[in-house]
Structure 1
Amino acid sequence: MTKSALSARIRTAARILLAAAYLVAGIAHLTRPAGFLAITPHWVPMPETVIALTGVAELAGAMGLMTQCLRPAAGIGLALYALCVWPANIHHAINDIPLGGLHLSWWYHGPRLALQPVIIWWALWASGVTDWPLGRKAR
């Protein structure tokens, strides 16, 4: 197997894994919104609607990642989505908001906050929007 073929397989696997994660998260946003509402900052207007729309966005992004012609748009959209929900993750961490009665320690919050840029990059890389830092995109 060539390096190029291996790279393509890894990217495909990363894309499928990311799509699956967003599919699960989207379903959770729509079927179990309470935890997401709990971590939503107070300044977010119409939080119930926002949580429902984020679930729809996650589902659309997951489907877009699996559709070749929509893949770049889905990658950009999911990267922007991950950037936009970062304040909720920060709010969750700083205010130690329990989920289901469970307080999550900084062993959870620290890596979660630090990995948000990786999730943003992952959406862009898995969708083929960027090859950085793993190589240059062929023109």
Structure 2
Amino acid sequence: MGFFSRVFGAFMAFAGIMHFKKPKMFMRIVPPFFPFKKMLVIVSGIAEILIGIFLVINRGTELASKMLTWLLIAVWPANVYMAIQNKPLKRGLKPMPLLLWGRVLLQWPMIQWSRKMGDPK
């Protein structure tokens, strides 16, 4: 596992911590048809912190790979919702449709990368 995985791990851990520091920011992008928004934000934050730690310390990579794959699949509806609603992550910021839709489109390559990351060969 290389430098990129460790940097990505640090980013994931930071993002996970932000779920606890600013939960309302993340709750506002959970699609309205999902119940228990705060619980979803907390669970995804915990998952991001664990994935980040595994990647940074280069341990449990196979588990981190599986967790990241499922997490990316699980948060995809929030990314689609943000793009359709033209909703920035933080209230008051100017929406950037190109970035929002780019994030949706990047989800598939990120899922593929996360699956390869845990491949033991």
TM-score range, shorter chain: 0.7 to 0.9
1:112 and 2:112 equivalent? no
Q: How many residues align?
A: 120
Cα contact 1:37–1:48 (8 A) shared by 2: yes
Select the structure that is richer in helix: 2
Cα contact 1:96–1:103 (8 A) shared by 2: no
Cα contact 1:86–1:116 (8 A) shared by 2: yes
Distance (Å, rounded) in 2 between the aligned partners of 1:35 and 1:62: 20
The structure 2 residue matched to 1:83, chosen from 73, 81, 94, is 73
Tell me which stretches of 4 or more aligned residues in structure 1 moved more than 6 Å. Answer: none
Equivalent in the alignment of 1:63: 53
Equivalent in the alignment of 1:19: 9
Deviations 1:14-69 (A, max 9, x none): 21011011011101111111221111011222110110111001001111224555
Q: Give the residue type in structure 2 aligned to 1:121.
A: Q
What percent of counterpart residues are identical? 28
Q: What runs of 5+ residues in structure 2 fail to find an aligned partner?
A: none
Q: TM-score, normalised by structure 2?
A: 0.87
Q: How large is the RMSD of aligned CA atoms in angstroms?
A: 1.8
Q: TM-score, normalised by structure 1?
A: 0.77
